[in-house]
Structure 1
Amino acid sequence: MSPVEAAAAAYPGGWKPNTGSSVPLFEQLRLNIIERADDGSLAPGTRLPAVRSLAAELGVAPHTVARAYKELEAAGVVATRGRNGTVVCPRDEAWDSLSAAAADFAAAARAQGASFAEAVQLLAAAYDRH
């Protein structure tokens, strides 16, 4: 099995980044991995493809995948274990609650016609007030 085939097997679903979106590619990937971890399609302990393999599969630059993985690691969604790769971390109850609140906010913002950037601005302002 080629590295690209291995990446596709480890990262199923046929998801591809939307190059026409105003959302940066690394952010699209980061959000997709979070969504898949939340819905269980990426179970805790699932090893994600290597940066270069996933970049080749998705048709993006390796630094795009590396940045997404780095931000996911900082958020505790994944853990990088050197030569053992990057794996999905177990989720906790607080994270699940925040994820549900974020999904509700995103749905409300989208229903009101807010762009992603506007929704982020609103969230940042609310966060700073509290």
Structure 2
Amino acid sequence: MTLKIRIVDGSAPYEQVRAQISEQARSGALPVGYRLPTVRGLAERLGLAANTVAKAYRALETDGVIETRGRNGTFVAAAGSAAEREAAGAAAAYAERVRRLGLSEAQASAAARDALRAAYGE
């Protein structure tokens, strides 16, 4: 696992850790079942506070990218299926909400497209 934190990058260090681990898990560079370093170990290696790495790990666990198995450690989960299930659930909730608001399919699609573009910095 290779992580590089760039302080001048402008994004928070925990977000850089989260994004890099997520991308490496998604690309297969970190295979399903790969055991991640402990929070303290990774923090030490990167020169970060343990709370910073812990925050990144919590976000990754919420996203379904990693799973913690108690004292056994933290491992890369089958992220694709968990992420896709969560996205489908969020999309269903969004569809129900815009239907109740009385928006047309075109209006709802335009709002979702705008939100996605903003989220991806386009």
In the superposition, the TM-score normalised over structure 2's length comes to: 0.66
Question: What fraction of aligned residue pairs are identical, expressed as a percent?
Answer: 43
Structure 2 CA distance for partners of 1:37 and 1:122, relative to 1, 3 Å? same
Compare the two structures and name the one with the higher helix fraction. 2
Specify every segment of 5 or more residues in structure 2 that has no aligned partner in the other structure, as ranges: 88-114
Q: Match of 1:90?
A: 78
Specify every segment of 5 or more residues in structure 1 that has no aligned partner in the other structure, as ranges: 1-10, 99-118, 125-130
Task: Provide the C-alpha distance between the structure 2 equivalents of 1:121 and 1:26, rounded to a whole number of angstroms.
Answer: 23
**Structure of higher CA gyration radius:** 2
Structure 2 CA distance for partners of 1:61 and 1:37, relative to 1, 3 Å? same
* Amino acid corresponding to residue 5 of structure 2 in structure 1: P
- Please say if residues 26 and 80 of structure 2, whose CA atoms lie closer than 8 Å, have aligned partners that are also in contact: no
Structure with bigger RCO (C-alpha 8 Å, 6+ apart): 1
Q: Match of 1:74?
A: 62
In the superposition, the TM-score normalised over structure 1's length comes to: 0.62
Within 5 Å, which residues of 2 pair with 1:1-130? Answer: 11=1, 13=2, 15-93=3-81, 95=83, 122-123=118-119
4+ residue runs of structure 1 moved beyond 6 angstroms? none
* Amino acid corresponding to residue 69 of structure 1 in structure 2: Y
* Amino acid corresponding to residue 78 of structure 1 in structure 2: I
